[in-house]
Structure 1
Amino acid sequence: MDYFLQLLISGMAVGLIYGFIGMGFAMIYRATGVVNFAQGEMMMLVSYIAFTLAGTLHFGFWPMLAATVAISVLIGLVVEVLLIRPMLGQPVFSTVMVTIGLAVILRSVVVLIWGADPMPLNTGLSTEVIRIGPAGLYPAQLYALGLMAAVLVGLWAFFRYSRVGIAMRATANLQTAALLMGINVKRIFALSWALSAGLAAIAGVLIGVIYDVNPGMWTTGLRSFPAVILGGLDSVFGAALGGVLIGVVENLSEGYIGRGMKEIAGFVLILVVLMVRPYGLFGKPDIERV
């Protein structure tokens, strides 16, 4: 039982990071209908930026996180304006290819600037394991839980009560109707990329603190993609829950079945779920009149 609880709790901790990345995927897809395959690389880039801030300015965890999120939001806006906005009106496939090209470029840029060796992200956080019953977690993993709760509450309030959040929901439902109602759709697209980049920054900092910073971090973005498929590509909150479920399934499968299962367990899970609910657990089916 103790072994099961250890796998469960540590899987939830990893799943929270998947959830942040998955929410970034869903944020962009919900607003624009485009899957950003550079989300993992964005997360890796801002993690290295956090490493530079911690090393040169000696920021602690919270100041570094705030600065990294702010820088990441600016990067997201620049990417949207320079690379994505010119693709408006073009086939979705073309825009997706732009994100794939961006992903390849970011991988090369990171290695060119920072090198290929793993480096610790020192923020002054304790590395002592905190015992929760039979399970042990690092302080950064507990911070991930608190940050996820705060982000979910903040996004819920933003989408429900703010004018911009309501405009984003309207744009996600039907872009043409949103334009007719006077909503600046281009601005909404830019905001979705900015918010997605901010979520990637939180994930990047947490991964860097827990596992060190390295050029292979982008694969975490690929492994978190099942989370957004599981929760529903158009559901930001579903992606968060999907990330936790994927993290737990990966840990349990590796713990009870064997090594190597962790890499494929998430994809096996979404294959099973999609056969029952093709639009994910919390996604909405597209209904078209013919």
Structure 2
Amino acid sequence: MSDLLFFIEVSLAGLGSGALLSLTALAFVLIYKATRVINLAVGETLMMGGYFFFALAAGMSLPVWVAIPLAIAGGGLIGAIVERGIIRRMLGESPISVFMVTVGLGSVLVGLVEFIWGTDPRSLPDFMGSAPIFLGEVYVSRKIAISFVVAAVVIAIFLVLFRYWRGGVALRATATDQAAAYSCGINVPGVFSLAWIIGCGTAAGAGMLLGQIGGIAPTMGAFGLSALVVVIVGGLDSVAGALIAGLFIGLVEAWTGTYLGGEYKLVFTFGILILMLMIRPYGLFGTTEIERL
């Protein structure tokens, strides 16, 4: 019985981690869905969200309820600046060129954080509490449980907005056919900016949640690599795929890390990535594109 309870606790922790992976993967999906750009700097934008919150709540002593939206807005501002100042100027360039720009952007953000705050890990001001939560006899970390709930609510809101909100419809129309969206009067450049702002703001919010659990450090961007695996497994243009694949990868990492050792987590994660690329390159729920010559 004790082994079963332990397995359930590990699984719940994995679902909590998976929800954060899904939330981070959502930032990848939003940007790619609208602009066809794989933003490899999402992990570093996540890191910036944690440091923005640290600067506002700890450095400037602002109330948490003020620091949280400002940190998310800071992530959105990064997205707006990058899209307007860099990505839009590269329209028509090869996809690999744009991809490498996002790689360089990630390195710039890491260097900026190390220059301002140094390389030492830091703890964020606690706004979740530390009292444990018990589901019957099963222990669940309060921070992981809250992060799971927040991520689930945010993803559900996005699913509803994509379906019913005018901006969500415009984003889906732009993702389907940019020329047709132009002909229908949709402001496609505005949709591009909106996607980058919302995507980077979402990543910044995920960074605050992740920082509450394990603190912040310039190496936080590595979390974005696991989220990229989630995106590829679920489908680069699928919000539902990001949700399902994130929970799945979170469970796999929790099980392998607990029962086999932490050094095997990435082995299994990227093993799943390689297997998926071999079997279904467009992901579980991604749109299959057929090119005719």
Q: TM-score range by the shorter chain?
A: over 0.9
Distance in 1 between the 2:87 and 2:43 partners? Answer: 17
String of CA shifts for 1:9-40, please: whole Å, max 9, x gaps: 11111111111111111111111111101100
Q: TM-score when scaled to structure 1?
A: 0.94
Q: Which residue of 1 aligns with 2:151?
A: 148
CA contact (8 A) 1:130 1:139 kept: yes
Q: Which amino acid aligns with 1:95?
A: V
SS of 1:94's equivalent in the other structure is helix
Deviation, structure 1 residue 70: 1.7
Q: Which residue of 2 aligns with 1:269?
A: 272
CA contact (8 A) 1:22 1:243 kept: yes
Q: Please list, as runs of the form range in 1=range in 2, the aligned pairs for 1:208-223 lying within 5 A after superposition.
A: 208-223=211-226
Q: Which residue of 2 aligns with 1:23?
A: 26
Across the aligned residues of Structure 1 and Structure 2, the Cα RMSD in angstroms comes to 1.6
CA contact (8 A) 2:128 2:146 kept: no
Distance in 2 between the 1:145 and 1:212 partners? Answer: 17
Distance in 2 between the 1:60 and 1:248 partners? Answer: 34
Q: Gapped runs of 5+ residues in structure 1? A: none
Deviation, structure 1 residue 59: 4.0
Range moving further from structure 2, 251-260 or 56-65: 56-65
Whether 1:195 and 2:198 are equivalent positions in the alignment is yes
1:128 to 127, 131, 136: 131
SS of 2:288's equivalent in the other structure is coil
Q: Which residue of 1 aligns with 2:14?
A: 11
Q: Which residue of 2 aligns with 1:101?
A: 104
Deviation, structure 1 residue 134: 4.6
Q: Please list, as runs of the form range in 1=range in 2, the aligned pairs for 1:61-100 lying within 5 A after superposition.
A: 61-100=64-103
Q: Which residue of 2 aligns with 1:260?
A: 263
SS of 2:134's equivalent in the other structure is strand
Q: Which residue of 1 aligns with 2:207?
A: 204
Range moving further from structure 2, 272-281 or 154-163: 272-281
Deviation, structure 1 residue 168: 0.5
Distance in 2 between the 1:256 and 1:125 partners? Answer: 29
**Change in CA separation of 1:139 and 1:65 when aligned onto 2, cut-off 3 Å:** farther
Deviation, structure 1 residue 60: 4.7
Distance in 2 between the 1:191 and 1:130 partners? Answer: 37
Whether 1:173 and 2:176 are equivalent positions in the alignment is yes
Percentage of matched positions with identical amino acids: 38
String of CA shifts for 1:185-232, please: whole Å, max 9, x gaps: 111111110111111011100111110111110111112211111110
Distance in 1 between the 2:167 and 2:128 partners? Answer: 36
Q: Which residue of 1 aligns with 2:160?
A: 157
Distance in 2 between the 1:189 and 1:120 partners? Answer: 34
String of CA shifts for 1:225-244, please: whole Å, max 9, x gaps: 11111110111221122111
Q: Gapped runs of 5+ residues in structure 2? A: none
CA contact (8 A) 1:23 1:237 kept: no
CA contact (8 A) 1:59 1:123 kept: no
Structure 1 segments, 4+ long, off by >6 Å, are none
Whether 1:52 and 2:55 are equivalent positions in the alignment is yes
Distance in 1 between the 2:265 and 2:118 partners? Answer: 28
